[in-house]
Amino acid sequence: MICLSWNVRGLGNSRAFAALSRLLKKHSPDFVFISETKVSGHKASSIKDSLQFGDGFIVDCVGMSGDLMLLWKKELLVSIQSFSVGHIDACIQMEDGFTWRFSGFYGDPIPSKRVCSWALLRRLRDVNLLPWVFRQATDNCDLMDLGSSGPFLTWNNRREGRDNVQERLDRFLADSAWRDKFYNANVEHLGFNSSDHRAILLRLNRVPSSRNFRGREIAFWFEPFWIKKEDIGGVVKLAWSSASPTNSVEDLKRKLNSCASKLLG
């Protein structure tokens, strides 16, 4: 599954729309969170339909705030839990029935009002205990930065010389329950395209798991009795050698994932 997130800084102009269309075609994300669309009402609905995504939800702007959009493919079962000018909170059910939360969050650009944004974040944390991934947040509520590959800084004020400022403002964060299920998830920073923010891409796959006698899913754990099996060395060696070379942390995660799959049969 792939999630694309982008602070587009205005989706009403043809250049931004064309850039988003190219990103959707190239990466084929399953769901997309867009902030600062700067469109609302019929125009926002028309743009959503033009992108030819399966379904979606729009938060219209209120003054200079709001203008959010969440899109998802029709194969996904998505239910919107709550929304405001600063967030869209949704539950996503996978094909195997596993359900988790996605919250697209846009902090207030006015520093004096950000205390309200962080209060909203804490309230969202208390809504339910589903595994949770967050787009743009703080390091509380048991949320950890999922890291990134590619250029580190995601925002550029596009000024010249000493007036140029760049920061990492866009990120994905997740709680421990979500990271346990998607430990091999990875985030990639893409280009700026028509915005002053980079689009960011989240790729995720479920951790291999088994089911107990009641059909309930249980997480993968290494079982001590496997050591006593005569062929354990061969199973591990085969799984390890069949994966790609280990040149990064992501390669290591993939090999561990492959090994887990072999051990679980």
Q: What is the pLDDT of residue 220?
A: 56
Q: What is the pLDDT of residues 118-160, one digit of tens each?
A: 777 778 877 777 788 776 545 456 788 888 999 999 999 999 9
Q: What is the pLDDT of residues 145-202, one digit of tens each?
A: 888 999 999 999 999 999 999 999 999 988 888 888 887 889 999 999 989 999 999 9
Q: What is the pLDDT of residue 137?
A: 44
Q: Cα 120 from chain centroid?
A: 19
For residues 97 and 100, what is the distance between their CA atoms, to the nearest angstrom?
10
- Select the highest-mean-pLDDT range: 56-65, 100-109, 235-244: 100-109
Q: What is the DSSP string of 194-249?
A: TSSB--EEEE--PPPEEE-TTS-EEE----GGGGGSTTHHHHHHHHHHHS----SH
Q: Is the domain 2-203 a CATH 3.40.47.10 member?
A: no
Given a cut of 50, is residue 214 above it in pLDDT?
Answer: no
Candidates 246, 208, 264; CA nearest to 255 is 246
Q: What is the pTM of this model?
A: 0.74
